[in-house]
Amino acid sequence: MQNPLPSLMLIGCGKMGGALFSRWVENALPPSAVVDHHKEELTQKFSSTQHIFSASVKEIPDHFTPQMIILAVKPAKAMEALTSLPNRFKNSPVISILAGKTVAYLRAGLTPTTPIIRVMPNTPSLIGAGMSVAYAEANISDPIKAACAALFECAGEFAWVEHEDLMHAVTALSGSGPAYIFYLAELLLTIAKNYKLPQPLANRLVTQTLYGSSLLLKTSALTPEELRQQVTSPQGTTAAALSVLMQPSAWPETLERALQAACERSRELNQ
Ligand SMILES: NC(=O)C1=CN([C@@H]2O[C@H](COP(=O)(O)OP(=O)(O)OC[C@H]3O[C@@H](n4cnc5c(N)ncnc54)[C@H](OP(=O)(O)O)[C@@H]3O)[C@@H](O)[C@H]2O)C=CC1
Ligand SMILES: O=C(O)[C@@H]1CCC=N1
């Protein structure tokens, strides 16, 4: 049986924090607090009497102490959010989903002993199909790590990395990754217009092809290369298309540069 979820204080309930919070609510989150400037909208959206919705940490009632704090504001707002935490919260373990911000950076806004875990989730978490990857320093206790894993397993798949530096590549691949797929869908739909396909049909072709290919990739014992070869008849249509996409300057170099740019930006975000 899965571990029960810890009670939380979620700071920042926007696109990513909100997607995760929906999953946690669906998975029997104990009474928790959500701190977000958009308190009114969130109170309406989640229409829950069990959780506290607040525009500021200072409004959280004194009797409430979360088992964990989830930090989900934009990286530039991290220090402001952490330094505004009243002292009574500063011993709760903190899970940060922020891109780029290292444990050392976050610690400067907390105490020397606050347990800190970094997690990089992605937006398919909203439908339980997310990929979350976590890094914890060696001194973080097993129960805290287990509680973190239980939270993010509600949102899809979960993995640990041993070295914090790998979080840059994780962010570039799976954190930002959904945007690359959505952009591919956008491009295919735009190009489909040239072929006079009815738009609703084009939408179905693109969506179902991305969905079916992802599911096949996830469930098949074959490698991506083998699956690609199964589609590619000699001298056929796929071979014609791939002869364009597989040019070094086409997808291989473009994707390499894109991931490199994401990694570089992740490093810059720690400043
Ligand atoms: N979006 C994604 O796909 C992913 C994002 N992340 C990380 O998640 C974090 C959040 O990103 P995202 O959800 O896209 O951002 P959003 O801007 O959608 O959400 C952040 C929310 O926090 C609120 N907020 C900011 N500071 C405070 C504060 N001090 N007190 C209360 N509320 C506050 C913001 O309000 P306001 O609008 O008024 O600023 C906003 O509602 C980022 O650090 C990002 O790196 C990680 C993985 C994927
Ligand atoms: O674009 C960003 O910086 C965040 C981190 C990963 C996805 N969105």
What pLDDT score does 173 carry?
98
Please check the confidence at residue 236 and state whether its pLDDT lies above 80: yes
Best probe residue, ligand 2, of 16, 133, 263, 269 (max atoms within 8 Å of C-beta):
16
ipTM of the complex, rounded to two decimals: 0.99
What pLDDT score does 1 carry?
53
What pLDDT score does 159 carry?
98
> Is residue 35 lining ligand 1, measured as CB closer than 6 Å?
yes
Q: 186: CA distance to ligand 1 center in Å?
A: 25
| Beta bridge partner(s), residue 160 | 134
For the ranges 1-10, 88-97, 194-203, 238-247, the lowest mean pLDDT is seen at 1-10
CATH 3.40.50.720 in the chain: give the residue spans. 8-167
**Could you please report the per-residue DSSP string of the chain?**
-PPPPPPEEEE--SHHHHHHHHHHHHTT--S-EEE-TTHHHHHHHH--SSSEEESSGGGS-TT---SEEEE-S-GGGHHHHHHTS-GGGTTS-EEE--SS--HHHHHTTS-TT--EEEEE--GGGGGT-EEEEEEE-TTS-HHHHHHHHHHHHTTEEEEEES-TTHHHHHIIIIISHHHHHHHHHHHHHHHHGGGT--HHHHHHHHHHHHHHHHHHHHH-SS-HHHHHHHH--TTSHHHHHHHHHTSTTTHHHHHHHHHHHHHHHHHHTT-
Tell me the pLDDT band of 258, cut-offs 50, 70 and 90. Answer: very high
- The contacts of residue 167 (CB under 8 Å, 6+ apart) are 118, 120, 133, 135, 161, 266
Binding site annotation covers 11? Answer: yes
Span 200-215, average pLDDT: 98
Please check the confidence at residue 72 and state whether its pLDDT lies above 80: yes
Please check the confidence at residue 10 and state whether its pLDDT lies above 90: yes
Binding site annotation covers 252? Answer: no
Which residue, by CA, sits nearest to atom 1 of ligand 2?
176
CATH 1.10.3730.10 in the chain: give the residue spans. 177-268
Question: Can you name the CATH fold of 177-268?
Answer: ProC C-terminal domain-like fold (1.10.3730)
What pLDDT score does 4 carry?
87
Question: What class does CATH assign to 8-167?
Answer: alpha beta
For the ranges 70-74, 83-87, 173-177, the lowest mean pLDDT is seen at 83-87
Tell me the pLDDT band of 269, cut-offs 50, 70 and 90. Answer: very high
Please check the confidence at residue 188 and state whether its pLDDT lies above 60: yes
Q: 168: CA distance to ligand 2 center in Å?
A: 11
Q: 237: CA distance to ligand 2 center in Å?
A: 36
For the ranges 82-96, 220-234, 247-261, the lowest mean pLDDT is seen at 82-96
Mean pLDDT of the chain: 96
Q: Are 35 and 11 in contact (CB under 8 A)?
A: yes
> Is residue 253 lining ligand 1, measured as CB closer than 6 Å?
no
Span 179-205, average pLDDT: 97
Binding site annotation covers 95? Answer: no
What pLDDT score does 3 carry?
75
pLDDT digits (tens, 9 = 90+) for 13-35: 999 999 999 999 999 999 999 99
Binding site annotation covers 14? Answer: yes
